[in-house]
Amino acid sequence: MVAQQNQMHRVVHQLQQRLHRVPDDSSSWAQLGASYVELARVTADPSYYAKAEGALKNAGDTGLAAVGMGTLANARHDFHAARDWALRAITALPSSAEAHGVLADALTQLGDDAGAQDAVQKMLDLKPNTASFARASFHLELHGDVDGARDAMTRALTAAATPEEVAFCRYRLGELAFDHNRLDEAAQHYEQGLAARGDDMTLTQGMAKVAAARGEVPVAIEQYRRLVARAPLPQYLQEYAELLAAGGRTEEAAEQYEVLSEQQRLMESQGASDDLAAALAAADRGDGVQALRRAEAEWGKRQSVFVADAMAWALHLNGRDAEALTYADRAASLGWQNATFSYHRGMILAALGRVAEAQEALVQALRLNASFSPLHALKAGRKLAELRGGR
């Protein structure tokens, strides 16, 4: 991560020098804005978002600036704005695969499945490269076509032209393997990715998950400790907290949840609100009221399968299981083989007394990925044993 950050800082410095000499270079301003967005991602420092916005505004009313503003809006989880910027970019640059990629990302998160599919296909038609194949892979995964997703990601890897692209592809292939109970294959992809980009934080996270799944808990805890020290992203903090909680280290887990809350507040202060992540974190802490408040806030903005699952789980925590099941049905509507979704559905069905269906959903969760969460996989197993014992 340090090497990657240093490289990006050098790029920023070079662009700044260029702009000092040629202050009206709109293309360089757009590149600078995009670099700041990427720095925010790799450092988990949302203060770069304001710098990105300033640089992109200096780029003027250009197609490249619109692409950058759309990318920034996606990073801030303002998916409606990202969609609008992407459409402006496509109007100015109809042959820009990158603009269609920004649109695909926004529409996927907004729950516009047909629109996202069209954007991905347009991107593939314009430029069948790593970025377009990766988006095709995710779209196929969301629809339950795991083999198709793997094939598309393999094509993305074949097209990869930089160490960063290789690392990204290996991570996604590793995730597809990990999410379907193939730990050795996942570890192999993560390791091969690290061979290409040894400081990649996503691959480090992947290896930590594998260690935890293999029962190497002290190794996993140490890997997560180092990871969140360098990149305190909400996802990593929550996974670290769950791992600590599963091991009975409740005070340390509470500390990480507090860091997570502080990081979320920091991101919100920089215009990067993420009620979905906040809802899931609150649910993990057992705060059902806060989980539902944040999930409802996100549902008011977008009705994707991701948010439907969060709504289902938050409603369950508040004892509103009949309502929760309708959202669980929405979450399953695309056919995504997601262990967490199946676990949530199983627990909701159990609360409704629908024992056979609950068992089926919990078995599916563990069959898909017995290590989907160090904390909730344990709960799934216990609930399944309880339901079977009650027959």
Q: Are residues 140 and 173 in the same domain?
A: yes
Total number of domains constituting the chain: 2
Task: Give domain status of residue 88, yes or no.
Answer: yes
CA angle 320, 340, 266 (to 5 degrees): 85
pTM of the model: 0.93
Which of 173, 206, 239 is the C-terminal boundary of a domain?
206
Task: Give domain status of residue 359, yes or no.
Answer: no
Task: Give domain status of residue 89, yes or no.
Answer: yes
Task: Give domain status of residue 26, yes or no.
Answer: yes
Q: Are residues 167 and 107 in the same domain?
A: no
Contact call for residues 108 and 116 (beta carbons, < 8 A): yes
Q: Are residues 146 and 104 in the same domain?
A: no
Task: Give domain status of residue 93, yes or no.
Answer: yes
Task: Give domain status of residue 245, yes or no.
Answer: no
The range of the structural domain enclosing residue 176 comes to 128-206
Task: Give domain status of residue 99, yes or no.
Answer: yes
Question: Which structure tokens are listed for 51?
Answer: 């710098």
Q: Are residues 79 and 146 in the same domain?
A: no
Q: Are residues 86 and 150 in the same domain?
A: no
Q: Are residues 23 and 106 in the same domain?
A: yes
Q: Are residues 132 and 104 in the same domain?
A: no
Domain at 187, CATH number: 1.25.40.10
Q: Are residues 139 and 183 in the same domain?
A: yes
Task: Give domain status of residue 194, yes or no.
Answer: yes
Q: What is the per-residue pLDDT for 3?
A: 63
How far out from the chain centre does Cα 120 lie? Answer: 18
Q: Are residues 106 and 141 in the same domain?
A: no
Q: Are residues 53 and 152 in the same domain?
A: no
| pLDDT tens by residue, the chain, 391 residues | 556 667 778 889 899 999 999 999 999 999 999 999 999 988 888 899 999 999 999 999 999 999 999 999 999 999 999 999 999 999 999 999 999 999 999 999 999 999 999 999 999 999 999 999 999 999 999 999 999 999 999 999 999 999 999 999 999 999 999 999 999 999 999 999 999 998 899 999 999 999 999 999 999 999 999 999 988 888 999 999 999 999 999 999 999 999 999 988 888 888 888 899 999 999 998 999 999 999 999 999 999 999 999 999 999 999 999 999 999 999 999 999 999 999 999 999 999 999 999 999 999 999 999 999 999 999 999 999 999 986 5
Q: Are residues 57 and 156 in the same domain?
A: no
Which of 187, 206, 225 is the C-terminal boundary of a domain?
206
Which of 78, 112, 146 is the C-terminal boundary of a domain?
112
Q: Are residues 97 and 23 in the same domain?
A: yes
